[in-house]
Each structure stands twice: as C-alpha cells, then as structure tokens.
C-alpha cells in the first residue's frame, strides 16, 4: 500500500515534470517563500481558533510547502525530501542528549539551557569560529518576534535589564523621545519613525522581561480591538446609524459599552 507521503511526493514530481502544471513548473524558492510563510500563519490561526479540522488541512498545506521546496532542490541537485527528513531527525537527536544520549536533565529550565548551548555550538561550527550572538535570527520573522529573539540572545551574554521595572523605565524614556521628536523634528519624519521604532523595541523587551511573547500579546490585542469595533458597529446599527457617522464622544461611549459587555 502506498504511503500518503509517497503519494504526495509523486504528485509533486508530476506537477513539476514536463506536461505538468505550468504554474508549479514556473516556481522557484523565492516565489514560493511567501506562500510558505502564509501557510505557517494559517496553521497558527487554526490553532488559535481551536479548529482541529482546519488545522489538519492547514498542516497539509504547510507540508506541501516543504515538499515543494525539496522538489526544487532535488531538481537543482542539492538535496531531496529524504535528506530534509534525515537532517531534522539528526538535529532532534543531537539536541536531545537527555533522551537519546543518556545525559541526565533536571527539568524544563535545564533542558532549555542545554538546547540553547547546543544551538550556539552549532552556530559556532557553521561560522568556523565564535559566532555572533545575533547570528541566525531570521530576517523574515515578524518584527516583534525578532525583537524578542534578539533580546533573548543578548540576555544570554548578560546584556539585559536587571528587572521588568528597569525595562519599563526604558519604555518611558523612549516614549518621551518620541514626543520630543514629534514636537521638534516634524520636518524629519524619518527621525520620528526611528524613535517610534525604539519605543516598540523597548516595549517588546518589557514584554520579554514579564515573560510575555509580544507577538502573541499583540495578536490578542488585535483580536480584542476587532471584537470591540464589531460590537460598536452593531450598537450603532441598533440606533439606525453608522459608526463613522457618530462623533468622537458618542464613539467613545460605545467603546466603553463594548468593554463593559465583554
């Protein structure tokens, strides 16, 4: 009986072969990459919605992205799907010596520290010497997630705020600089943008010190804002009007009502 993964690999090969799908044949690593990122987000979205049926479909779409990239690499003579699977299997065994190598581990925190040490050693080996703390942090990560990761890397070398209160102080400092730039340098929007970036970076570091994933926290805040706006629109419709037709004070009243009714 043909395994589903073998069937999928065969379908991919046929799509990319002469006489296959013109669109699939025209793709490259670069053109497929945005779809790969999109599918990863759709997996996360299904998880957040607790949609297990949707999650199954989205995981399949994401797996197809892996198969697609592997097919392009195989055609280029670089590697194939089996090599991808072998590489991740070897990596998992290497990074779990407490499971596959008999090394003891006291708990989650010790295991996490060991994981990071192993990853750092891998980066050093790839660099042919000591790698930078910030090597290997993907540029394609969402900016907040990348800030979180950069901050964690720097913290491993001791370059970090001593506590959340100190990180909060940095947020206040950066906010003051944003307001100062807005007051003094409106003719230089790039300067204001730079200060806003520093403020967002400081806020992400505060989240990290509080043990909060900033990307997840902002997604939740977005969902809350969207939920409240929809509720405000319903309240306005009950008054036979549109939200945009109301003044700011009336909109604020609906916002507060939406908050109370959550």
- The tokens describing 195, both together, are 């200060």
Residue 83 lies in a domain: yes
Over residues 20-56, the pLDDT tens digits come to: 999 999 999 999 999 999 999 899 989 988 999 999 9
Domain count, the chain: 2
Mean pLDDT of the region 84-106: 86
Over residues 147-177, the pLDDT tens digits come to: 999 999 999 889 999 999 999 999 999 999 9
Confidence of residue 111 (pLDDT cuts 50, 70, 90): confident
Cβ density class 48-77: b for 16+ within 10 Å, e for less? eeeeeeebeebeeebebbbbbbbbbbbeee
- How long, in residues, is the chain? 262
Q: Domain residues for 233?
A: 216-260
Residue 172 lies in a domain: no
Confidence of residue 121 (pLDDT cuts 50, 70, 90): confident
Boundary residue ending a domain (43, 62, 95): 95
Output 225 or 103, whichever has higher pLDDT. Answer: 225
Residue 36 lies in a domain: yes
Q: Which of 105-114, 135-144, 146-155 has the lowest average pLDDT?
A: 105-114
Confidence of residue 133 (pLDDT cuts 50, 70, 90): confident
Residue 167 lies in a domain: no
In angstroms, rounded to a whole number, what is the distance separating the alpha carbons of residues 221 and 111?
Answer: 32
Residue 85 lies in a domain: yes
In angstroms, rounded to a whole number, what is the distance separating the alpha carbons of residues 67 and 30?
Answer: 15
Residue 9 maps to which CATH number? 1.10.287.1080
pLDDT of residue 186 exceeding 80, the answer is yes
pLDDT > 70: what percent of the chain? 98
Residue 87 lies in a domain: yes
Residue 195 lies in a domain: no
pLDDT > 90: what percent of the chain? 73
pLDDT reported for residue 125: 78
For residue 65, which phi and psi values (nearest 5 degrees)?
Answer: -60, -40
What average pLDDT does the chain have? Answer: 92
Boundary residue ending a domain (75, 95, 115): 95
pLDDT of residue 127 exceeding 90, the answer is no
Boundary residue ending a domain (35, 62, 95): 95
- Kindly give the interhelix angle for 189-209 and 214-238, rounded to the nearest 10 degrees: 110
Contact residues for 30 (Cβ-Cβ < 8 A; gap 6+) = none
Residue 205 lies in a domain: no
Tell whether pTM > 0.75. no
């Amino acid at each position: 009986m043909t395994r589903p993964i073998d069937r999928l690999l065969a379908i991919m090969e046929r799509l990319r072969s002469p006489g296959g799908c013109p669109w699939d044949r025209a793709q490259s690593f670069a053109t497929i990459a945005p779809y790969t990122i999109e599918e990863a987000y759709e997996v996360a979205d299904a998880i957040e919605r607790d949609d297990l049926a949707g999650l199954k479909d989205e995981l399949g779409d994401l797996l197809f992205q892996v198969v697609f990239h592997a097919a392009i690499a195989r055609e280029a003579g670089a590697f194939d799907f089996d090599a991808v699977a072998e590489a991740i299997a070897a990596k998992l065994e290497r990074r779990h010596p407490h499971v596959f190598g008999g090394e003891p581990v006291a708990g989650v925190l010790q295991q996490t520290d060991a994981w990071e040490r192993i990853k750092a050693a891998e980066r050093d080996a790839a660099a042919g010497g000591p790698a930078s703390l910030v090597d290997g942090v993907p540029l394609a990560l969402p900016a907040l997630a990348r800030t979180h990761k950069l901050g964690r890397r720097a913290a491993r070398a001791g370059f970090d705020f001593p506590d959340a209160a100190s990180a909060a102080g940095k947020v206040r400092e950066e906010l003051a600089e944003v307001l100062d730039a807005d007051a003094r340098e409106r003719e230089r929007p790039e300067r204001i943008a730079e200060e806003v970036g520093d403020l967002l970076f400081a806020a992400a570091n505060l989240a990290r010190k509080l043990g909060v994933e900033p990307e997840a926290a902002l997604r939740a805040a977005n969902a809350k804002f969207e939920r409240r706006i929809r509720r405000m629109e319903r309240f306005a419709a009950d008054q036979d009007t549109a939200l945009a037709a109301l003044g700011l004070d009336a909109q604020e009243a609906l916002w507060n009502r939406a908050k109370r009714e959550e």
